Structure 1
Amino acid sequence: MSTLVGAGVVAGSANLANLLDLRPGRTLKASVIAAAPLVLARDEGTSTTAAVVLGAAAGLLPDDLAGRSMLGDTGANAAGALVGTALLGALGLRGRLVALAVLTGLTVVSERVSFTAVIESTPGLRELDRLGRG
């Protein structure tokens, strides 16, 4: 069961990252926010995987924000899968079940609600989303 739930967390994280990849920098910013606390995890694999996310984002974010490059589906899915993999090392089965439920819920909600509309109408999120884009 743990393997199946873990696979769902990785796949769900990849899908969520892809759903967010509608504006320059959005997926990378979300990946940084999700991975940053995981760098402090006790598990070395978790902290290393989270550090990879932060390093990749640091390297890619300037060109993504400037519109000189873009993640696309492949990059967004990879970023999300890395965040999901880092989560696996930080969470036990209960935490993984909660993460899977949240990811599933967000995926279901995305069928009816535009994340872009929510971000644009929410102060703080709107400013974070626009940060660095010119």
Structure 2
Amino acid sequence: MAKMVLLAAFVSLAGNDLSSYARKAEVTVEVEDKDVTTFASLGWKEVLGGLKSGELSLEMLQDVAATKVDSIMWPLLGQVVPFVVRLDAAPKSASNPEWTGSCLITGWNPIEGGVGDEASVSVGYPTSGAVVRTVA
């Protein structure tokens, strides 16, 4: 089984490469389970998949200078924007899949931390529509 260390992941939001700010990226997807148990199930619960949903979570180092991450994210508040995430910055391939979709920018934390902390921002955005995994 291959092992991997994340060293140069690629993160893009609304067409902006945020890789130089990001230090953590997570794309999670899940499916609701719907209980379809009947008396014929003989006491065993039966489930079917329902609606799918996802989330894009990022931890980034903050930079409030003009054209940097804060000035990129602030105008996106309340918008549904496209995202792209890869485990490596290299082009997508069979060994470097890409996850794409759209997410709703539900919030932005311009100031987060305490005395002596690095200025970082942690956010989580719900996906809107399908999350797609592609390899070529």
Name the TM tier (shorter chain): under 0.3
* TM-score normalised by L of structure 1: 0.24
Higher share in helix: 1
Higher strand share: 2
